[in-house]
Amino acid sequence: MKLSLLNRLVCPPEPFFRYVFPEDGYQAVATTFDGWMTQALLHAQANGLEAPSPVDMEDQLCKTLPPGWCNYASGNRIRPSTALDWSAVSQGLKVFSGWIVQGRATVKQAEADRRALICSRCYLNVHISGCSGCQRLVADVLTGKSCKYDFALRGCAVCKCVLKAKIHFPLSLLDTQSGKMQSMYPDFCWLKKGGDNYRALNGEEKDAY
């Protein structure tokens, strides 16, 4: 069942009306519903893409909004939040600690670029509030690491990780996340077990060095 806004006349909280084109990562953002539809249509026409339907645009947007903004098929639907909480901080510290213990291994550039491209076109690639300390830690730990899609990477709304860093970590460090988090990853996510872009551990580890 597709999700839909309860009131199209009211602008959602930042980042407002927002739709990310999966083909190229372009974000159609507006403060009015009609302006949002127009911006998406113009981008599609200018780039030879199929115009997204309002139904699909609302469904994607609703997957990022807090309770009270949309009709949900289930009141128990798990929704990602863009606010940093202690559980996310704790999980992040666990990953960093494990990374250091395992010798600071990172995946090869080609694998990091593959992941970054997927993340750059994901609607859950958002700004995470309260994460300035994370940014500084990442800058210290991953000095010299970069990716050609860094300019488009922010934070993951599911795990709250800084994506510029996350894309470089071996899958063995990231593959221990809870079932709740797995349920929130889109099917195209490179961390979604069983998804088209997920790589089994025994295959991905060959790309580590």
- The rounded distance, in Å, linking the Cα atoms of 119 and 65 is 19
* 193 vs 143, more confident: 193
Q: What is the model's pLDDT at position 127?
A: 79
* 108 vs 199, more confident: 108
- The rounded distance, in Å, linking the Cα atoms of 34 and 130 is 32
Cis peptide before 15 (omega within 30 of 0): yes
Average pLDDT value for the chain: 82
pTM score, whole prediction: 0.78
Q: Which range has the worst mean pLDDT, 1-5, 63-67, 130-134? A: 130-134
Assign 44 to helix, strand or coil.
helix
Q: What is the model's pLDDT at position 141?
A: 64
**Looking at residues 56-81, what average pLDDT do you find?**
77
Which candidate, 124, 71, 102, 79, places its Cα nearest to that of 168?
102
Tens digit of each residue's pLDDT (9 = 90 or more) over 76-130: 555 666 555 656 666 666 777 777 777 778 889 999 999 999 999 999 998 776 6
Domain ranges of the chain: 4-71, 86-207
